[in-house]
Structure 1
Amino acid sequence: METTRLGGPGGIEVSALCLGVMYFSTIVDEATSFALLDRFTEAGGTFVDTSDNYPCWIDGYDGSESELLLGRWLAARGARDRTVVATKVGALPDPRRGTEWPANAEGLGERAVRAAVEGSLRRLGTDRIDLYQTHIEDRTVPPAETVGVLADLAEEGTVGLLGVSNHRADRIAEARALAGDRPRYRAVQQRHSYLRPRPDADFGVQRWADGPILDLVRAEDDLTLLAYSPLLSGSYTRPDRPLPEQYRHPGTRQRLSELRRVAAETGATPHQVVLAWLLRSDPPAIPILGVSTMAQLEEALAAADLVLDADQLARLDAAGAPAVQRE
């Protein structure tokens, strides 16, 4: 598998695809989770992504499960030195802050971040997190407080690179400016796929890679875009998975039509074309794969070798200018 540089010049070399382990050991059983991680690394994958709250929103789980599974796999396979581990802070439910999630999320204050990183290190069985990301916005904490504690952790060596997820572009730019010469955000993880939501789309605490985010990443050579939900939970191909309402506008029909045309030309699946487009789009993105079966993983891995020519990329880019009205 090809590699890329996370965080731009001086960053970390990682595989072009990242494996997300959100549901590993829960919806995806432990044996299958281990097999998927084994196959991903066998294919050259080095980059895995989790969070300290996965999957806390499902009854019966507290959010520790994904990190614990990854920690067990890293130990069992002796894989820590060859795996770039990313996790997140800020969205774990804190019972002291109420009973409704995400209103009761742990947040991004200094004490919360310090406590959270210790918990993640323990669950992952490591003394360093390669990419530490703020998970959702916390408007109750001054940005300088979050920036300061994250920079401290990076300078102490507890974490490597810093990243941010589900934040607005202006908030990310503000945080990077506040950091000055200290460690700052060098990765931004947003909902991102070939199909574009309506400009007014609302995903709750999730944020998508809108125009300002894409412009920010294009302008900053030390900022890498990570794309979560790149295949929209199978909505591109599965009749039982209708497109989310936020993607229903006239431009979607045009983009789907061009996507299917390019898939037919290349002999690839629509999912593979989406992933190949993300890898070579402007700005390029690292897709985070959310798979639950070996067949899904094999399909995704093949996308890393799919070459789209300049004409196909141009046609995919031009199809379906963003719409402002609903159907």
Structure 2
Amino acid sequence: MKYKMLGNTDLRTAPIVFGGNVFGWTLDEKKSFKMLDELLEKGLTTIDTADVYSRWAEGNDGGESERIIGKWMKERGVRDKINLATKVGSSMQQGGDKDISRSHILKASEDSLKRLQTDYIDLYYTHWDDNKTPVEETLETYQQLIKEGKVRYIGASNLSPERLQASLDAAKNENLPKYEVFQPEYSLMERGKFEGKIRDICKENNLSVLSYFSLASGFLTGKYQNKEDIKGKEREMFLKDYFDERGKIVLKVIHEISNEHMVSEAAIALAWLIERPGITAPIASATKKSHLKAFFEAMDINLSEEQMQRLNNASAY
């Protein structure tokens, strides 16, 4: 497997990062352990989670994903084999305010370290911006955590172009830690949040880009064909807006190209991301061992220029 380096760090990742939002949500602890064992065996060792995962599941309070990953790493004795990424900034309370102030980050980081049963986080993200904390305050707090050995590198997710650029400028001008990775929502169904200013900033500043919702919450797997297929399911809130004419065209083209390569539709959607300008690796989740087959199909195939153009045209926005 060909690994990729992340920004100006010594962290490397497979061409696909595993999204840990499923742990404690669609996978219980026992099934999560089996999935994590499988990922380690196959070399997919960069795991992405967040302090709030999987808060939205009924009966959860947040932190379930971190707890499961932490317990698994402890029981298996594999902390040194995992590139561990988690995030700060969201509220543990439904509808609560975003917060990237010094006081919140210091408390949240300690809570994450306890749940993860580790002394350090490899990659710590600003999950969401509160749009009020000075970027210098946030970066100075990360600087303290780095000096204390609790965080190795930092990244950002969902920042506006203006706040991302301001953070990078502050890092350069005031000798503060620099975001090395950016995590935007990006897929064949959601292109506008990354393409344009954000992509330019990432390129100019050598930020690696790990896209999330890479399969549009499962829409691009072809599993769901209409709104009736998702009614009452956990993913309904994420998928309900995709069943329009554009969505139908995207699914049709993915299906055609998947037949041409004799691979899954999910593999085509991931392969498109792997080959897109500016993308280091997509983040994707799986709930069954069989689902991981699409990851390796995506890493093995090469889409032709003509196939890439068909996908670009179908997903034009």
- TM-score band (shorter)? 0.7 to 0.9
Shift of 1:47: 0.1
**TM-score for both structures, normalised by structure 1:** 0.85
- CA deviations on 1:36-94 (whole Å, 9 max, x unpaired) are 1111111111100111111223332111211110011111211111100000011132x
Q: Which residue of 2 aligns with 1:215?
A: 200
Letter in 1 for 2:259: A
Letter in 2 for 1:217: C
**TM-score for both structures, normalised by structure 2:** 0.87
Q: Which residue of 1 aligns with 2:286?
A: 291
- CA deviations on 1:119-142 (whole Å, 9 max, x unpaired) are 111111111100000111112322
Distance 2:258 2:26 in 1: 30
Letter in 1 for 2:84: V
Distance 2:242 2:139 in 1: 34
Q: 1:316 to 1:138 in 2, by over 3 A?
A: same
Q: How does 1:120-139 map to 2 (within 5 A)?
A: 120-139=112-131
- CA deviations on 1:182-241 (whole Å, 9 max, x unpaired) are 3211111121112236x6xxxxxxxx42422222223332x0111111112221212224
Find 2:218's aligned residue among 224, 228, 234: 234
Q: Which residue of 2 aligns with 1:5?
A: 5
Q: Which residue of 1 aligns with 2:176?
A: 182
Q: 1:285 to 1:257 in 2, by over 3 A?
A: farther
3-state DSSP of counterpart to 2:153:
strand
Instruction: Flag the structure with higher helix content.
Output: 2
Q: Which residue of 2 aligns with 1:88?
A: 87
Letter in 2 for 1:115: K
Distance 1:152 1:89 in 2: 15
Q: How does 1:1-327 map to 2 (within 5 A)?
A: 1-7=1-7, 9-93=8-92, 101-105=94-98, 107-180=99-172, 181-196=175-190, 208-221=193-206, 223-236=207-220, 237-238=222-223, 239=225, 240-241=229-230, 244=239, 246-247=241-242, 251-322=246-317
Q: Please tell me the root mean square deviation across aligned C-alpha atoms, in Å.
A: 2.2
> Number of aligned pairs?
304
Q: 1:266 to 1:174 in 2, by over 3 A?
A: same
3-state DSSP of counterpart to 1:25:
coil
Letter in 1 for 2:126: T
Q: 1:260 to 1:132 in 2, by over 3 A?
A: same
Distance 2:243 2:26 in 1: 28
Question: Is the CA contact 1:108–1:138 (under 8 Å) kept in the aligned structure 2?
Answer: yes
Q: 1:224 to 1:108 in 2, by over 3 A?
A: same
Distance 1:3 1:23 in 2: 24
Letter in 1 for 2:66: E
Task: Indicate the percent of aligned positions where both proteins have the same amino acid.
Answer: 31
Distance 2:22 2:250 in 1: 30
Distance 1:252 1:292 in 2: 24
Shift of 1:306: 2.1
Unaligned residue ranges in structure 2 (runs of 5+): 231-235
Distance 1:248 1:292 in 2: 23
Shift of 1:290: 1.9
Unaligned residue ranges in structure 1 (runs of 5+): 94-99, 200-207, 323-327
Shift of 1:310: 3.4
Distance 1:58 1:269 in 2: 28
Shift of 1:176: 1.0
